[in-house]
Structure 1
Amino acid sequence: MAPISSDNSKTDIDVESEGDTLKNDERTGRSRQITFEGSTSAEGARSIYQPTQINRTRSISRDTIHSTRSSIQGMPELPIEFRTISIQISESQNAPKEAIVQTKEKQPHQDYFESLDFHIISTDSLCREFNVDQRTGLSSSSAATRLQRDGKNIIAHHGENYFKKIFFYIFGGFCSVLWVGVIIFFICWKPLSNPPSAQNLSLAVLILIVIALQASFSAFQDWSTKRVMNSILDLLPAEAMVMRDGKLIHLPATELVAGDIVHIGIGNKVPADMRLLSSSGDVRFDRAILTGESDEVEGAIDCTETNFLETRNIALMGTGVTNGNAIGIVVLTGSRTVMGRIASMTAGVKQKTTLIQREINRFVTIIVILTLFLALLILFTWLGWLRKDHPSYMSVVAMLNNVMGCVVAFIPEGMPVAVALTLMMIAKRMKHTNILPKGLATVETLGCVNVLCSDKTGTLTQNRMFVKSLGMVDWEYNLEDLAPSESGTVDLPGGLKNMLQASILCNDAMFDPTTMDMPVNERAVNGNATDAAVLRLGDSVGLNSPTALAAYERVHQIPFNSKNKWMLTLHRDPKSTKEFILYVKGAPDVLLDRCTSYWSVVHNAVRPLDVGAREKFSNFQAKLSRRAERVIVICQRRYIPHSAPGSNDFSNEMLDHGVQDLTILGIFGIIDPPRPETASTVAACRKAGIRFFMVTGDFGLTAAAIAREIGIYDGQAEPDTIEELRYSLDPSMEVKVPKSRHSLLLEGPNLSALTSEDWETVCGYDEIVFARTTPEQKLRIVTELQARGSVVAVTGDGVNDAPALRAADVGIAVGSGSDVAIEAADLVLLDKFDSIIEAIRLGRLVFQNLQKVIAYLLPAGSWSEIWPVIMNVFFGCPSPLSTFLMIIVCVFTDLFLSLSIIMEKEEFDLLSLPPRRPTKDHLINLRIYGQSYLFVGVMEAFSAHSMFFLYMWRHAGIPFSDLIFAFEGYAEGFHGYTEDELNHFISVGQCVYFVTLVIMQWGNILSVRSKRMSILQADPIRPARRNPWLPLAILISFIIAIFVTEVPGLQTLFSTASVPIEFWCIPLGLAMGVLCMDELRKVLVRMFPKGPVAWASW
């Protein structure tokens, strides 16, 4: 039922005509003028004009897609300059030019809100200004005119700093180090080389091309990611309840216009800055998104402050309705709202570093330290030894080339590309499975979640409730006895009829008019599921007659909220002019202590609620709860108010004195069936090492019964309670948590008494149900778990879940949930609840595939490239690999193969492994370094060097022993060769080394696809692990290798040469050798899972 206004002032106004002409003050045709303080001149007065736009009234805006954590980060504090200019509402499309020009100019913020009087003038005058009847709302034609004139209701996005973006594309990340290489190579070209070296110039240009490619990809990836995230946000709900043409309809919030009459209720986001016209008396707003303050603001009908920003009769756009409901008129929209003005001031918000970014930064730090160490070692070796003992061996240019070779070797230039593409690809996969992450940081955090706290109603259950049991304190009815007779009537005892009638009057649900011709159980209902269940029962016995209910006019209501846990309505008594009938419906554990009597079926009269009656009530409640039924009690009281209905004093009176001396009319047992996929989801979480807890406001026995039904409690033994918990904490007990008991049931009232030691024990349980919890207690549960090292995900759909969703490491909202819950969440599930397992799987897959990318890149792109530098500097051997070929391996041949890894499917045991520990399980660890450097890296480096020396021996006749410590001896006349011939041998040898690395990486990539599973079980051909990108990537790397070694122009420019055919064939066997050696490692790991090989394996 609609809320009754606390200020039901009505006004007879003319409904706007088709032309939608403005009705000016005093009907003079003149614009209303506002004169600023101290202004007496004509220039001091300004016409008021309202161009209207509004942000999407969904849970988030694109400017704030990240979810706030436990310490709420709101918009910057509202500046003192936020005071303002009044605005005239002009419906005429031919508004005065000076007014239009003025509104398009950027006004100072202090002039914008200071003179607004929407909150001050009467509701009659306000509706007259907006040319709207608050009973019927705008006409469709008028709304269309305003929408066409003012545009869609969105906040204008501030322009991005493209110069800053481009700067970081070009100079950020690894590019900053590559720029050092560009400078060095240019210096080596001129003036250090005499004559100038074309090869050094070519290398400088090549690195510039690499920088350009990386910058271009970064720009493309940034654009693609933004497009993906925007498309995800477009799928989130964005509707408002609006009165149009006398009908209450759902309307996309983007189509709201100034003057719209909007209905808001608990869980909604306010779609625009609105003046409240009526409210339930207890409406409250969460302004944390604007101010950062978590305290709720109570709504009011009358002006409470002259400042537009502080008065309580204005609901600000983007704030959440945390209690009650209200009706308001839109006064400011879009960029002219408080949210819009703040958004224009906060052009950029510094993002927190994500887990993956921290891991990448850690890896980069290690690489940079190693690079600097080796580069300085080369420099000091040259200064202290080579320059003195072998002055003609290595020039300054050659030394700098070796330093740059060291830099190129250690920096995996392809890794940033792979990381970015991996996150974007996973986000796309989530979108395709109806999982909507608001930011890429959410994707990676999912892989670390080890505790999942879930709300019950609407999340674990279907939120499609129906009444299963019905009774009173001393009687239980059989619902089958309430079936209509052949004549279609139902004979109800007086007490039962009064109970069911009360449950319909104290009810905010109503049938959708478009489904009234359908059977009762198939009709759509607007309202919460509990009210819908009671409404259906009452309608089925013929008590939902509008004519009969009209006699009991509702004059006040206090809607249900998760703190009070009851709903109150006050109705006129058709038999009395002074007395009112007050109905209260809610949780028995809250209302029982406020009841003094009950309707007795046995005595057919009201009886005192004595000890015996209370025991009967408790036994009946426990009986229903053990059957997993949600128990609701309906109470009544006759009341004579002391304050006038509709006043603020009256609202306070109802809150303070209404819910006492109640008479129990009856008890409902309501079933909310679990979702079909819930049990399998709980089992999958347990298998994945994730503890699954239920956090609900329901009665403890009801919650425990549901928990046992869906598998949160996997045994039949009764769970521990607060009594057993206290016993287990006895200092004389050696074991705090009994080994035979790992299930716990805690109720909200007990949580406040728990000490830090108690929480240590609580957090050690594997199966926990927290019942009868308030939003504050849900928040505390999350923070206590986090304080003890847990990575917590919270799922929920109601406004009471929002604080916990914000505080969680990953807040997960159900798509059918409230706007406030969706706003607070990091992830939205649009489909079945079991899609959360898919989200966790993809979150783990991100980390797993990134580890595989790095394990693939390091052996050739780092380890096998640094050894040629070491051989050249410290062993006096001609360099087996040129800097140019190092760059080709890092940026081209390895890049495409590494990108194919991000398309890999998960390994068979991905969801059987324990969650990653963010503080211990790093992206790069010693095991990966061991796998990449000491295992595969050693094989590749040794094989590539062997191929180099084999070529020099077979084709040049120069043995290995003569090349080692050759230093300046490798010159004209060495083994009878000219300098050109020696240079040619080195060029071919370097290409042999390069080709060997390229081909051996094919074996490496086949091995890193699986950490433990054999290639025979995870081959890239069969559907289970098929990766069509892998063969394509191998082909591309092969083509690049041929292009680099065989194109004459490149041969001349970069000193490359054609590779003999046998050195294309031999590495194929070596690649198979890498694969076979890794297969042997996997066999040992599987045979001896606790052996030394398994311990050292990645």
Structure 2
Amino acid sequence: MKNTLKQDWHAAEVDEVLKLTDAQRGLTDDEVRQRQEELGKNVLPTGKQVSLAAILWHQFKSPLIYVLVVAGVISLLVGEHLDAGFIGIILLINAGLGTWQEWRAESGAQSLQEMIKLKTSVMRNGTWQELDAEALVPGDVIRLESGVQVPADARLVEVNNLQVEEAMLTGESLPAHKETAAGDAQTTNAGDKKNLVYAGTTVLVGRGRAVVTATGLHTEIGKIADSLNQEDTSQTPLIERMERFSRMISVIILVAAVILGGIGWWHGMELMDLFFLAIAMVVSAIPEGLPIAMTVALSIASRRMAKRNVIVRKLSAVEGLGSCTYILSDKTGTLTVDQQTVRQIYLPDGQTLAVTGEGYNGEGEIQIDNPDSEHLHRFLRIATLANESTLEKKGEEWRYKGDAVDVALLALPYKLGSSPDEIGRETDVQREIPYESENKYSAVYYHRNGRLVFGAKGAWEVFEDKLVEDEKEQAAEMAEKMAADGLRVLAMVYSITDDDTSDLAEELHLAGLVGLIDPIRPEVKDAIAECHEAGIKIAMVTGDHPLTALAIAKEINIADGPDNLISGAELRDIEDDEATLVEVLRDKTVFARVSPAQKQKLVKAFQQRGEYVAITGDGVNDAPALRQSNVGVAMGSGTDVTRGAASIVLKDDNFASIVAGVEEGRYSYDNIRKVVFLLLSTAAAEVFLIMLSTLFGLPKPLTAVQILWLNVVTNGLQDIALVFERGEPGAMKHPPRSPEEGIFDRQMISQTVLAAFVMTALGFSLWVSWMNQGREEVSARNDLLLVMVLLQNFHAFNVRSETRSVFRIPISHNYLLLLSVFLAQGIHIAAMHIPLTQRLLEIEPESLDEWFTYFGLAALILVVSEIYKVFVRRREGREQKVG
């Protein structure tokens, strides 16, 4: 039995398929039992659900967290309980925030399972039975009808006008018309196998019978489920950068501790004093607030994204979307509105009419100089009467039912000021011929001016050879032109007859051609232009016809011409040769008629080229590629499977929302850089201050508790406030940062060194001066602590931008930062007057004159930073001119 699963059933004749079963009686109970034992039930394996405990544990998997844990344990062992308690609180808050944001039910494979958990009509033991779909086995004969969800992959043996919605699997925007004839054995694309139906798809019109050929994991949807369980999502650039940064900080702290120990030992310090000094330096060097600040920054960005219709499932994806260099977008429902719309009408008198409006409604107009044209009215009669769908307006809402193309045609009378019902009332219909897949047309017999008219609607190819000679050539040219423009072409034809039982006449007259298209979303062009300006490359990946895909891609400036297009059939010849595939993709931006497996290979190929790839999608066929990509973006109206595989979901299905997400992602990364800049520059100043004092044999300038207090009262407030900063202008006017680029670039390093130098120089010079004056250490530390608080308060305003003057950034962009600075000062001044904090921190009140003096000295860092930014802006101006 297992060998039958490997056959290309679409290439087999019906008689061969029926060898799997008894066509009249179906399978027996014994046959079903045997096949279930061999192949299993028609169910899919459920993916391993991620528990809350696993998500919580994940929050602690970071080198920076490891360093904090070690520092906390050491502080606890040496009796520094305040230090240990503070570090513990930091770790718990960070873990709580991250867990709360990332707790989502993992529903990928489970959603796939639900898709085939249904009842189905099966022939067993000579009778039709309603059974659970999970009971099906290959060889079962099933019955299909309108509205039924297909329970397993099956080969059709009987059809009656059967149309199946397969977009969730194939990406095709139009329903698939099914047939029973054997297909080409070379065909591999699921959408091209017209005699197969697939688990999870839905019957829209008609009915049929089919023999089950694959169940469970062996179905097309099952193969996708299996790939989802195997693939793993790669890390975002932010996570990789922070891991490199954490390792760097760990090494620097270790080296600094060794150097400090050597200096202290050289100066003859006691071992215990040296150990406590090292602890003080470690406390000052570790950016305790960075994990929380990073989590809060991503959380804020995720909330801002939600307001712009972008739902974040995984926090790390916030910055990941901002870092993407390539977006592979599905077409149907993502770049387009997923509603068939008439764009052009060609009439036999040579007129080409434009039609406005979009979607399944009567909004818009047919642009014609003579609305009473008999040619147009004949065309509309046939389009409306040879039609099995409905479209009507109820109140303010348009309601429709039936085939997408038929519904689109019913919108035309409304756009001329009439309605399908009005046309029906004015016309004496004698007989209707419904659409049959074998005929590929629908027709109607009606009376007009005392004569019987046969009118038919169908694909242009069906009628081309039957048109009268003097109409054929011009109509063929127009049909070819419409198709080249990406339009789906249908023809309306007619003949005068005396017999309403006759077949399609040998000589037909053209009533008109109609060109339909799934319209582009209005915002898409601008969104793609903005992506291009932001240095992000865009490509279209679709299951649709190559000509349709190329026409739309050209209209939205994704492609220039055929050289940018490649089909799934062409990809098949090179997809297993990775080097060739990577090279071919350099100038391809439209991928048409591709399979789910090919989508995954495309993502991998772009990743091998060094691209950081985001891919959008809404159907089950998109899920494996979304899981493979760096950032998977699902449509909100898509399947649960796709949403489960994605890290970001677009609530409004609008490609333009991706631009908003990219922008917010870039803002969040910029804000994280600001936090790193603040924490590292202040930490470096504290470390250098301790090391210089030790090197010159001076008493330690600050105690471990004072350093911890300094980090809490300044950084602990201001680093969080910084992540609320509004985005700076121009975030979408520069290319994405390379994933290989670290947090520290030339700009960050130079500014960090400069800020640390100014704070160290001012603090150390004051400390040396006071020690030379013979001041008491406790009193001098009190003043130095105030100076460092003020310096870091001023510096918080410097880091709001790496290039813009602090005086040109409106304070309204971040009132919280101003509040945090006032609060830090208030807390520190209050601590000087509270007996408990006086004893803990060894501090005392300062006079107003002293406060103003130190305030003026601390403002020096603001002055130096402003001067430096002037030089930075001039340098950037010169580089832009050279560029």
Task: Specify if TM > 0.5.
Answer: yes
Could you tell me which residue of structure 1 aligns to residue 450 of structure 2? none
Could you tell me which residue of structure 1 aligns to residue 88 of structure 2? 212
1:167 and 1:243 map into 2 onto residues whose CA distance is 37
Is 2:364 aligned against 1:511? no
SS in 1 for 2:806: coil
Change (3 A) 1:166 1:667: closer
Could you tell me which residue of structure 2 aligns to residue 1011 of structure 1? 802
Q: Do the aligned residues in 1 keep the contact of 2:375 with 2:511 (CA within 8 Å)?
A: no
Could you tell me which residue of structure 1 aligns to residue 357 of structure 2? none
Match among 835, 848, 861 for residue 670 of structure 2:
848
How much has 1:811 moved relative to structure 2? 3.5
Is 2:236 aligned against 1:354? yes
How much has 1:419 moved relative to structure 2? 0.7
Change (3 A) 1:686 1:555: closer
Change (3 A) 1:794 1:412: same
Match among 924, 927, 930 for residue 750 of structure 2:
930
Could you tell me which residue of structure 1 aligns to residue 687 of structure 2? 866
How much has 1:896 moved relative to structure 2? 0.9
The residue type paired with residue 845 of structure 1 is Y
Is 2:251 aligned against 1:369? yes
1:878 and 1:815 map into 2 onto residues whose CA distance is 62
Q: Do the aligned residues in 1 keep the contact of 2:479 with 2:489 (CA within 8 Å)?
A: no
Could you tell me which residue of structure 2 aligns to residue 1078 of structure 1? 865
2:621 and 2:249 map into 1 onto residues whose CA distance is 47
What do residues 907-955 of structure 1 show as CA deviations (whole Å, max 9, x unaligned)?
A: 11111111111023x22335423321x20000011111223234445xx
Q: How does 1:355-434 map to 2 (within 5 A)?
A: 355-381=237-263, 385-386=266-267, 390=268, 394-434=269-309
Could you tell me which residue of structure 1 aligns to residue 409 of structure 2? 534
Change (3 A) 1:601 1:807: farther
1:820 and 1:321 map into 2 onto residues whose CA distance is 16
Q: Do the aligned residues in 2 keep the contact of 1:415 with 1:854 (CA within 8 Å)?
A: yes
RMSD in angstroms over aligned alpha carbons?
6.1
Could you tell me which residue of structure 2 aligns to residue 632 of structure 1? 489
Q: Do the aligned residues in 2 keep the contact of 1:170 with 1:212 (CA within 8 Å)?
A: no
Is 2:837 aligned against 1:991? no
Is 2:594 aligned against 1:774? yes
Change (3 A) 1:1066 1:669: same
1:547 and 1:807 map into 2 onto residues whose CA distance is 58
Q: Do the aligned residues in 2 keep the contact of 1:795 with 1:812 (CA within 8 Å)?
A: yes
What do residues 1001-1021 of structure 1 show as CA deviations (whole Å, max 9, x unaligned)?
A: 122111111122222321314
2:674 and 2:743 map into 1 onto residues whose CA distance is 10
How much has 1:1074 moved relative to structure 2? 1.4
2:708 and 2:338 map into 1 onto residues whose CA distance is 59
How much has 1:1091 moved relative to structure 2? 6.6
Is 2:846 aligned against 1:1055? no
Q: Do the aligned residues in 1 keep the contact of 2:486 with 2:547 (CA within 8 Å)?
A: no
Percent identity, aligned pairs only, is 23
Q: Do the aligned residues in 1 keep the contact of 2:163 with 2:204 (CA within 8 Å)?
A: no
1:680 and 1:930 map into 2 onto residues whose CA distance is 37
Q: How does 1:1024-1039 map to 2 (within 5 A)?
A: 1026-1039=813-826
The residue type paired with residue 1073 of structure 1 is L
1:826 and 1:168 map into 2 onto residues whose CA distance is 16
SS in 1 for 2:466: strand
SS in 2 for 1:1088: helix
Q: Do the aligned residues in 2 keep the contact of 1:630 with 1:671 (CA within 8 Å)?
A: yes
Q: How does 1:811-850 map to 2 (within 5 A)?
A: 811-817=632-638, 822=643, 825-831=646-652, 832-850=654-672
Is 2:108 aligned against 1:224? no
More helix by share: 2
Could you tell me which residue of structure 2 aligns to residue 623 of structure 1? 481
2:680 and 2:816 map into 1 onto residues whose CA distance is 21
Change (3 A) 1:677 1:165: closer
SS in 2 for 1:835: helix
Q: Do the aligned residues in 2 keep the contact of 1:951 with 1:989 (CA within 8 Å)?
A: yes
SS in 2 for 1:418: helix
The residue type paired with residue 481 of structure 2 is K
How much has 1:834 moved relative to structure 2? 2.5
1:212 and 1:813 map into 2 onto residues whose CA distance is 37
Change (3 A) 1:443 1:299: farther
What do residues 750-784 of structure 1 show as CA deviations (whole Å, max 9, x unaligned)?
A: 6567798887776555xx65275434666555444
2:148 and 2:92 map into 1 onto residues whose CA distance is 39
How much has 1:357 moved relative to structure 2? 1.9
The residue type paired with residue 216 of structure 1 is L
Could you tell me which residue of structure 1 aligns to residue 465 of structure 2? 598
Is 2:696 aligned against 1:875? yes
What do residues 86-137 of structure 1 show as CA deviations (whole Å, max 9, x unaligned)?
A: xxxxxxxxxxxxxxxxxxxxxxxx9xx97x8x99xxxxxxxxxxxxxxxxxx
SS in 2 for 1:679: helix
The residue type paired with residue 354 of structure 1 is T
* TM-score relative to the length of structure 2: 0.69
Change (3 A) 1:327 1:379: farther
Match among 943, 946, 955 for residue 765 of structure 2:
946
SS in 1 for 2:649: strand
How much has 1:990 moved relative to structure 2? 2.0
1:466 and 1:1060 map into 2 onto residues whose CA distance is 78
Change (3 A) 1:677 1:366: same
SS in 2 for 1:207: helix
What do residues 724-768 of structure 1 show as CA deviations (whole Å, max 9, x unaligned)?
A: xxxxxxxxxxxxxxxxxxxx5666666567798887776555xx6
Q: Do the aligned residues in 2 keep the contact of 1:555 with 1:572 (CA within 8 Å)?
A: no
How much has 1:401 moved relative to structure 2? 0.5
Q: Do the aligned residues in 2 keep the contact of 1:240 with 1:271 (CA within 8 Å)?
A: no
How much has 1:709 moved relative to structure 2? 4.7
How much has 1:457 moved relative to structure 2? 4.5
The residue type paired with residue 359 of structure 1 is R
Change (3 A) 1:490 1:710: closer
> How many pairs are equivalent?
762
The residue type paired with residue 324 of structure 2 is V
Q: Do the aligned residues in 1 keep the contact of 2:102 with 2:314 (CA within 8 Å)?
A: no
Q: How does 1:46-57 map to 2 (within 5 A)?
A: none
Could you tell me which residue of structure 2 aligns to residue 105 of structure 1? none
Change (3 A) 1:1070 1:1012: same
SS in 1 for 2:808: coil
Is 2:637 aligned against 1:791? no
Structure 1: runs of 5 or more not aligned: 1-5, 8-35, 38-81, 85-109, 120-154, 189-200, 245-256, 289-297, 301-312, 329-338, 558-567, 575-582, 608-612, 637-662, 714-718, 723-743, 959-981
2:394 and 2:76 map into 1 onto residues whose CA distance is 83
Q: Do the aligned residues in 1 keep the contact of 2:167 with 2:619 (CA within 8 Å)?
A: no
SS in 2 for 1:668: strand
2:368 and 2:766 map into 1 onto residues whose CA distance is 92
What do residues 838-888 of structure 1 show as CA deviations (whole Å, max 9, x unaligned)?
A: 11101111211111100011122x212212331343321101111111112
Tell me whether 1056-1065 or 993-1002 shows the greater mean CA deviation.
1056-1065
Could you tell me which residue of structure 2 aligns to residue 680 of structure 1? 526
* TM-score relative to the length of structure 1: 0.57
What do residues 295-342 of structure 1 show as CA deviations (whole Å, max 9, x unaligned)?
A: xxx999xxxxxxxxxxxx9998xx6779999999xxxxxxxxxx99xx
SS in 2 for 1:912: coil
1:683 and 1:168 map into 2 onto residues whose CA distance is 38
Is 2:724 aligned against 1:912? no
SS in 1 for 2:323: coil
Could you tell me which residue of structure 2 aligns to residue 248 of structure 1? none
The residue type paired with residue 390 of structure 2 is F
Q: Do the aligned residues in 2 keep the contact of 1:430 with 1:436 (CA within 8 Å)?
A: yes
SS in 2 for 1:428: helix
The residue type paired with residue 357 of structure 1 is I
